[in-house]
Amino acid sequence: MRGNPVKEKLARGEASFGTMAWEFMTPSLPQICNAAGAEFVLLDMEHSGVSLETIKTQIALCRGLDIVPFVRVPTTAYQYIARVLDAGAVGVMVPMVETVEQARDIVKWSRYPPAGRRGAAFGAAHDDFVAGPVAEKIAMAHARTFVICQIESEIGLKNVDAITAVDGVDCVWLGHFDLTNFLGIPAQFDHPKYVKGVEKILEATRRHGKVGGFMAADEKWAREYYAKGFRIIAYGLDTAIMQTGIRAGIETLRACVAVDASKAAGTTAPAKSARAAKAAKPAGGAKTAKVRK
């Protein structure tokens, strides 16, 4: 079974950076992310509409690469959490976590007895179909599994300290857009209510020795939220990264057209100016000097 170098790195107090995908889950996605330096890829099932089979394929494509597969499941439910772990995910993100009871269930469903209530299936995708002592596999699964609870609502924010304190919750992840929506301030990321909420999440991570997670849409957000104290950061969504790159290229090309148009206008304008200046040339030198002055 593969380990989880991201979890190990975070446990040492270091930071880990990766990316998030919800649209372009092609055969080359894990290799592209790995080649770009991503340490993990967070595969989304909440908003993407992709199937478990697609997720399982993407996880398989991570084998042999220095990139760790995490999966965001659609909701707090055993059948999602246990199945993506069985498919080989070494980390699971659960959206809209609002209560300590939910957090305990998430941990319970990600652990085998007696630590939890996860059903057993060995010689499967999550242990690479390799034989071996079951007790060792269980210990390894518990050691590598990275549990992420997303705080995205006013209820989750109210209970964030208790959620973060749950043994087995490794990370609380700021769901920034949803949080502003539920606070009644959609996309107002400089609003005092949101800023205070972000600090409350980070205070909980510091108090309980956990890590804060965030998805940075661009370089500015990446710098800002790293400076705030978030230590696991997914840089961008696949769709946003692609659009940003295409948009920059298109704007560059349109700027080239504008330069050409400006040059074309510049070749005719001076000629007209010269003729106009000649026609209006003063007769006397004094007047000419005054004009030049």
Point out the residues that are catalytic: 47
Contacts of 177-183 with C-beta under 8 Å, sequence gap 24+, read: 178/95, 178/96, 178/152, 178/153, 179/151, 179/152, 179/153, 179/154, 182/152, 182/153, 182/154, 182/155, 183/154, 183/157
Using the structure block, give the residue that is written with the tokens 């400006």.
262
Q: Is 148 helix (H, G, I), strand (E, B) or coil?
A: strand
Using the structure block, give the residue that is written with the tokens 């696949």.
238
Distance between CA atoms of 95 and 153, rounded to whole angstroms?
A: 10
Max intra-chain CA distance, the chain: 107
Distance between CA atoms of 215 and 255, rounded to whole angstroms?
A: 31
DSSP string, 193-224: HHHHHHHHHHHHHHHHT-EEEEEESSHHHHHH
